[in-house]
Chains A and B, each alone.
Chain A
Amino acid sequence: QSALTQPASVSGSPGQSITISCTGTSSDVGGYNYVSWYQQHPGKAPKLIIYEVSNRPSGVPDRFSGSKSGNTASLTISGLQAEDEADYYCSSYTSSSTYVFGTGTKVTVL
């Protein structure tokens, strides 16, 4: 069970849109619609921002959106804001009834 693959870093200017990819296999991302995304600011616990591929918990701004195609899930942040600068992790259910996280992506707001 290897970690899901994410780009190490993504950057964008305020107001722009960015997309973070999360690539797995047919045994995890591709096999289930149980992909979640988490935002983590330095020194803080992760915060759930997307679940079941594209659903947002209450209180999460609608500029965060998720999608999936095949073995790759994606998180898009539209209208990038300074407070979006953080680390982002994807997670997926696996065929072993366990979970696996992605390698993490550092988002920088230029």
Chain B
Amino acid sequence: QLQLQESGPGLVKPSETLSLTCTVSGGSISTSGYYWGWIRQPPGKGLEWIGSISYSASSYYSPALKSRVTVSVDTSKNQFSLKLSSVTAADTAVYYCARLLTGGLHDCWGQGTLVTVSS
């Protein structure tokens, strides 16, 4: 059974870089046809798609965040990661990682991790 688990600091200072990792278990991140994505949800607000990456490192980013986001993949560790630079309080959110299948379905999600941006 596929499982995804986010990890990383829960508190980041303004102007610094937010870094999160998603560990995939119960399946291989290198499976052809799958993408691996990041989605966030500010407290009390809706979902926002951040970006996605394939095992071959082909990536796509939300135009709104593209200048600050990098998603990378480490197939040897079965992990993929998110970096968001120059964070502000507006980046405070629960960050989810998810598997993205052909057809645009995010079919398996991590439990989410709250990241607060504050000094």
A→B interface (CB under 8 Å): 1, 3, 32, 34-36, 38, 45-48, 51-52, 57, 89, 91-93, 96-104
Contact = CB atoms under 8 A, between A and B. Distances in A.
A91 B62 CA distance: 13
Contacts of B100: 99
A103 B60 contact: no
Given A1-B62, A91-B49, A101-B48, A48 B104 contact: no
B63 A102 contact: no
A13 B107 CA distance: 29
B103 A34 contact: yes
Given A46-B47, A91-B47, 19 more contacts: A1-B63, A34-B103, A35-B104, A36-B105, A45-B109, A46-B39, A48-B106, A93-B104, A98-B62, A98-B63, A99-B37, A99-B52, A99-B104, A100-B49, A101-B39, A101-B46, A101-B47, A101-B49, A104-B46
Q: How large is the interface on B (under 10, 10 to 19, 20 to 34, 35 or more residues)?
A: 20 to 34
B59 to A, nearest CB: 10
Nearest to A32: B104
A41 B48 CA distance: 17
Contacts of B37: 99
A93 B101 CA distance: 12
